[in-house]
């Protein structure tokens, strides 16, 4: 039995190794890699003349995520026209190797079509017409002929997004109100804090409301209990002289996600208890409301620098 097991394991090992077959050579350094990287830099610089020197006469470019089975790609002439206008559509373009990645040149054993180069890059830029930021990975496959000219380029990219297409049309995103019950609630909250009526002020918030400000670390927020404690500490060192409204509040009922937001601008006048020094703190409050008219989130934007001596 033991002998049979050993024979079986030997046969399994032989079968496993027999499944491996070399199909060419992969190069980490190769003149073809230099060709495609220099060409790509010329491409994002919109230098069509320089790009042309690296392309074969029968060059074709393809979109790797195009699902049209009849797609015949873009020929050399059309591709160069597109390169020449690239600067009109993308500002601040840059293309760099993705961190930790590097291009490969692949010379297949039985492939008579030439040498292949594959690249993994990160593309950044700004869409010139809409101002949408472009930032994402680009993977390309290049085939080169014996003259080291690029015969084909296949691009797999996710640097664009639907926002560019949407930005070419004008659309509304809800309604702005000058007067609304939620505005009344936001004002009552501020006036309650102004008059140290904390129970009333906190009654307008949900139990799971979250609180943050412009100096809160990203992704963090205070609970209602934590916020109460922070207000208590502020009142121990400072008296509130007044909350003065600047302009008027706006209530924005967004179509997108049906968000309900009141934003209001104030100047808080504080008196430091230790020496009687007065401070003026400009502040923007943004209050998010639920369907029941309760505040679910409060965000405050200000600079604590104005409270320093």
Q: Which of 166, 194, 224 delimits the end of a domain?
A: 166
Whether 204 and 120 map to the same domain: the answer is no
**Does the structure show a pLDDT above 90 at 121?**
yes
Whether 195 and 227 map to the same domain: the answer is yes
Beta bridge partners of 138: 121, 157
Q: Which of 142, 166, 190 delimits the end of a domain?
A: 166
Whether 161 and 29 map to the same domain: the answer is yes
Residue 186 lies in a domain: yes
The alpha carbon of residue 297 and the mean position of all alpha carbons in its chain are separated, in whole angstroms, by 23
Residue 242 lies in a domain: yes
Tell me how many domains the chain contains: 2
State the average pLDDT over residues 14-24.
70
Residue 204 lies in a domain: yes
Band of residue 14 on the pLDDT scale cut at 50, 70, 90: low
Q: What average pLDDT does the chain have?
A: 92
CA atoms within 13 A of residue 55's CA, in its CB half-sphere: 24
Residues 31-86 pLDDT 10s: 999 999 999 999 999 999 999 999 999 999 999 988 898 889 999 999 999 999 99
Whether 36 and 138 map to the same domain: the answer is yes
Q: Let me know: does 206 contact 290? Beta carbons within 8 Å.
A: yes
* Residue with tokens 């990975």, as numbered in its chain: 137
What pLDDT is recorded for position 21?
82
State the average pLDDT over residues 197-207.
98
The alpha carbon of residue 203 and the mean position of all alpha carbons in its chain are separated, in whole angstroms, by 37
**What CATH number is attached to the domain comprising 126?**
3.10.450.50
Domain extent, residue 143, equals: 21-166
Residues 130-165 pLDDT 10s: 999 999 999 999 999 999 999 999 999 876 678 888
What pLDDT is recorded for position 218?
93
What pLDDT is recorded for position 307?
86
Residue 292 lies in a domain: yes
What pLDDT is recorded for position 12?
52
What pLDDT is recorded for position 308?
86
What pLDDT is recorded for position 109?
80
């Amino acid at each position: 039995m033991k002998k049979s097991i050993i024979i079986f394991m030997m046969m399994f090992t032989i079968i496993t190794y027999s499944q491996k077959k070399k199909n060419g050579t992969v190069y980490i350094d190769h003149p073809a890699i230099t060709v495609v990287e220099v060409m790509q830099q010329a491409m994002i610089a919109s230098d069509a003349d320089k790009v042309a020197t690296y392309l074969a006469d029968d060059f074709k470019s393809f979109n790797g995520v195009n699902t049209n089975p009849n797609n015949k790609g873009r020929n050399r002439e059309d591709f160069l026209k597109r390169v020449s206008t690239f600067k009109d559509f993308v500002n601040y373009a840059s293309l760099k190797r993705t961190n930790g990645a590097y291009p490969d040149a692949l010379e297949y054993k039985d492939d008579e079509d030439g040498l292949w180069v594959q690249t993994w890059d990160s593309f950044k830029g700004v869409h010139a017409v809409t101002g949408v930021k472009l930032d994402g990975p680009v993977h390309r496959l290049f085939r080169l002929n014996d003259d080291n000219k690029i015969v084909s380029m296949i691009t797999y990219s996710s640097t664009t997004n639907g926002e560019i297409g949407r930005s070419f049309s004008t659309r509304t995103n809800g309604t702005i109100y000058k007067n609304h019950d939620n505005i009344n609630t936001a004002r009552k909250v501020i006036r309650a804090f102004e008059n140290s009526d904390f129970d009333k002020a906190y009654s307008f918030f949900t139990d799971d409301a979250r609180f943050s400000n412009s100096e809160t670390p990203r992704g963090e927020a205070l609970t209602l209990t934590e916020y109460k404690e922070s207000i208590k500490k502020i009142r121990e060192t400072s008296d509130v002289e007044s909350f003065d409204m600047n302009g008027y509040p706006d209530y924005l009922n967004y179509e997108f996600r049906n968000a309900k937001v009141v934003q209001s601008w104030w100047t808080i006048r504080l008196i430091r208890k230790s020496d009687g020094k007065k401070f003026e703190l400009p502040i923007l409050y943004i209050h998010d409301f639920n369907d029941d008219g309760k505040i679910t989130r409060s965000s405050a934007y200000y600079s604590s620098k104005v409270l320093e001596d």
